[in-house]
Structure 1
């Protein structure tokens, strides 16, 4: 089981002068426990695809299956699907509305009738280097990076099976970005199914994620990380990918078929 995208298409403002097809016959299967990176420029269809996973958008053609349950099945409560899918949107801190950080953490579990686990919440705070005394602080009085951390934990607080980060490091400084990557690795180690729409792929080389690259609503690439990073450099640059020194060395080792060396570089 997992997420199955079955021939999905979607068009914004259909039958108007502003019509734009955002997704075109997308086929994708994500198995439980996998880590996927969704790659592509703004307007490529990444966010639209993500929004179909919990029924924020319903495909006009095709279907989405979450653990073999169609999001279009009117006999099923869409809340049960949304309970399984946790989406951390770009700038999610704009959705805060409660007076304390702890109340923000408690809200989703109450909404989905899930027991709130304060100890697990504190574990997540430790991973993201967010002090426990922030629980009683107002989320509106935190720095931008601290607010992003609170937003992430607010989604994790109801323990969804599938966790989706939509450009999670936008606007963050280096230190905060590293803490987000640390959280992703921890969740992967805990067996969570993870999807990240991001251009920052350098931190994930050791995890060997699968990659979906979209371009103009079409699939431009779908497959293993090593195959993706071995693409023509122009294709990578056109997708907005910037290789740091480590990933450059890793890519060169792969292209020379020096697999042992590539694995050593990945583990550094």
Structure 2
């Protein structure tokens, strides 16, 4: 079953001088096993949209996750949030337990999930964190290692949909690469991944689906290659700038399209 958003709108500070529209009539369908990149300017509405997917924000319109509607008073929100795990920006700021093992086990206990030792080791292997770290304090780790613990803490209750909201903010290149590899592994395992990022080219080989947010509006949703071929002014106005890798890929795509057109005219 998919995640579906129908005419989703949301404003902060309603009926105050600081009222600001964050989402405007957003419609989107996310199917099982897909990988989506949400991109756009800071403040475009990406994080707000992601937070509607597991009921942290209840918008106007309809958000449905596997038939569960977030704005239905009869919906079991614990069941819904067990399906949709979110890894926030700087998730390590939410650590509060003395050991890594306790941090990892906290969410499974909350969701009544029996997490076995071999499963913990499996998740630690996925993110590249040594198993003998379990008895360490999470506050003794490097920033990148803390981010990995935060990811394991979400993987630990085995959510069907995994949301990464700017997961590489503040990380060095090596750790950023490790997080990207983790995303790829999870998607290859069949997990549905929804990711807000500015680092688009890292996902070129996976050809993810792309959603562009601008000024609270969803202005593009579609296949990766269709996104790549969008007009440069359209992309720039949405705060999207291609690096050299994406520029080369775009040139190759456009060259291939011209070749196809010539063949079709023969």
TM-score range (shorter-chain normalised) is over 0.9
Q: Deviations over 1:177-229 (max 9, x none)?
A: 11101111111111001100011111111111111101010111111111111
TM-score, normalization: structure 1? 0.93
Q: Deviations over 1:39-68 (max 9, x none)?
A: 111110011111111111101x20100012
Query: In 2, distance between residues paired with 1:175 and 1:238?
Result: 30
Secondary structure, in 3 states, of the residue corresponding to 2:73?
coil
Secondary structure, in 3 states, of the residue corresponding to 1:104?
helix
Secondary structure, in 3 states, of the residue corresponding to 1:211?
strand
Q: Name the structure 1 match of 2:25.
A: 25
- What is the Cα deviation at residue 258 of structure 1? 5.7
Secondary structure, in 3 states, of the residue corresponding to 1:65?
strand
Instruction: Please state if 1:164 is matched with 2:154.
Output: no
Q: Deviations over 1:87-121 (max 9, x none)?
A: 00000000001100011110100000011132232
Q: Name the structure 1 match of 2:199.
A: 200
- Counterpart mapping for 1:102-251 below 5 A: 102-251=101-250
- What is the Cα deviation at residue 259 of structure 1? 10
RMSD of equivalent CA atoms: 1.5
TM-score, normalization: structure 2? 0.94
Query: In 2, distance between residues paired with 1:76 and 1:218?
Result: 27
Q: List alignment gaps of at least 5 residues for structure 1.
A: 261-268
**Do the aligned partners of 2:229 and 2:250 also contact (CA within 8 Å) in 1?**
yes
**Do the aligned partners of 1:253 and 1:259 also contact (CA within 8 Å) in 2?**
no
User: Using a 3 Å threshold, how does the CA distance of structure 1 residues 39 and 259 change in structure 2: closer, same or farther?
Assistant: farther
Q: List alignment gaps of at least 5 residues for structure 2.
A: 260-266
Q: Name the structure 2 match of 1:10.
A: 10
User: Using a 3 Å threshold, how does the CA distance of structure 1 residues 79 and 238 change in structure 2: closer, same or farther?
Assistant: same
Query: In 1, distance between residues paired with 2:256 and 2:178?
Result: 33
Query: In 1, distance between residues paired with 2:128 and 2:243?
Result: 25
- Counterpart mapping for 1:24-103 below 5 A: 24-59=24-59, 61-103=60-102
Query: In 2, distance between residues paired with 1:88 and 1:26?
Result: 22
**Do the aligned partners of 1:229 and 1:236 also contact (CA within 8 Å) in 2?**
no
Query: In 2, distance between residues paired with 1:145 and 1:259?
Result: 44
Deviates more, 1:244-253 or 1:183-192: 244-253
Query: In 2, distance between residues paired with 1:239 and 1:108?
Result: 36
**Do the aligned partners of 2:123 and 2:156 also contact (CA within 8 Å) in 1?**
no
**Do the aligned partners of 1:53 and 1:64 also contact (CA within 8 Å) in 2?**
yes
How many pairs does the alignment contain? 259
Deviates more, 1:124-133 or 1:12-21: 124-133
Query: In 1, distance between residues paired with 2:117 and 2:174?
Result: 25
Secondary structure, in 3 states, of the residue corresponding to 2:33?
coil
- What is the Cα deviation at residue 19 of structure 1? 0.5
